[in-house]
Structures are given as C-alpha cells and as structure tokens.
Copies of this chain bind each other. A is one copy, B any other.
C-alpha cells in the first residue's frame, strides 16, 4: 500500500512517517517501480506500535530501543521494564515540578483582586528581591 493508506490505517501522518524514516526510527521503505513507498500490514503494525509508544511520552530514541527489543526474540522483559520504569520516574519528576509551579501561581493569583485597579501582587512578587519573593522561595525549595 502507498504511504497515504498506511497513514490512514496507522493514524500516523504521511509526513511523520517520512520523518521517522529520515531519522532512522523506521527502516527505509520498499519502493514501487515509480518510486512510491510501499508498505505492508506488518509496517502498519510497526507504525501503530510507534504511535502508541510516542503517546506514552517515550522519545523517538526510546521508541527505537523498544522497537529493537520488540524485534529481538531473545531479549528479557527486565530490559523493557527498565525503560518503562525510567519513563515513569521521568513523568513523576515533571508532574511534581508542574504542580509546584501551579501551587505558587495559584497563591499569587489568590492574592490578586483581578479588578481594574493597577495593584497586582503577581507582578509585585515577580519584581521582588529574592528574600521577599514567593516565586524565588519556591524555586529554591525545588532545588533542595
């Protein structure tokens, strides 16, 4: 099948499929005599695998590792689990960081009347010297 159909079946945009090939995530596709890329059902499966793994937030590089493991009949499940566990830890770190931002921002927003007067504690805090600033305090708390 041509790239458009593979794209429709896998849910990966044709442009993205070419991109994955160009960066070596996918092997170079077979070509029909006219130079069009030619995909098999197995290729569509691979594309779906890639799309699923990307949707779990694995980087293209990590997806490459998972694909290698998937194709390696002799790999051990601990290798795969290690990648998944590292990704979970990564997610936990990012979630914690974003929640810290959220908390700080929420505190600032709570102090802000949000009316048409010009006094705004959010801006005041951002402009504060470190010792007075809620934001500065939350940044230094993050690094402790």
Contact = CB atoms under 8 A, between A and B. Distances in A.
A101 to B, nearest CB: 5
B88 A95 contact: no
- Counting every copy of the chain, the complex holds 2
Contacts of A78: 114-116
B70 A112 contact: no
Contact of A55 (B95, B115, B117, B135): B135
Contacts of A114: 77-78, 81-82
Most buried by B among A57, A73, A74, A119: A57
Main SS of the interface on chain A? helix
Interface string A42-66: 0001001100110111000000001
Contacts of A127: 45, 48-49, 70
Most buried by B among A66, A73, A120: A120
Contacts of A135: 52, 55-56
A52 B139 contact: yes
A72 to B, nearest CB: 8
B109 A77 contact: no
Interface in A60-112: 66, 69-70, 73-78, 80-82, 84-85, 87-88, 91-92, 94-95, 98-99, 101-102, 104-106, 108-109, 112
Given A56-B101, A70-B123, A70-B126, 10 more contacts: A52-B135, A56-B104, A69-B123, A77-B112, A77-B119, A81-B109, A81-B112, A84-B112, A88-B106, A98-B98
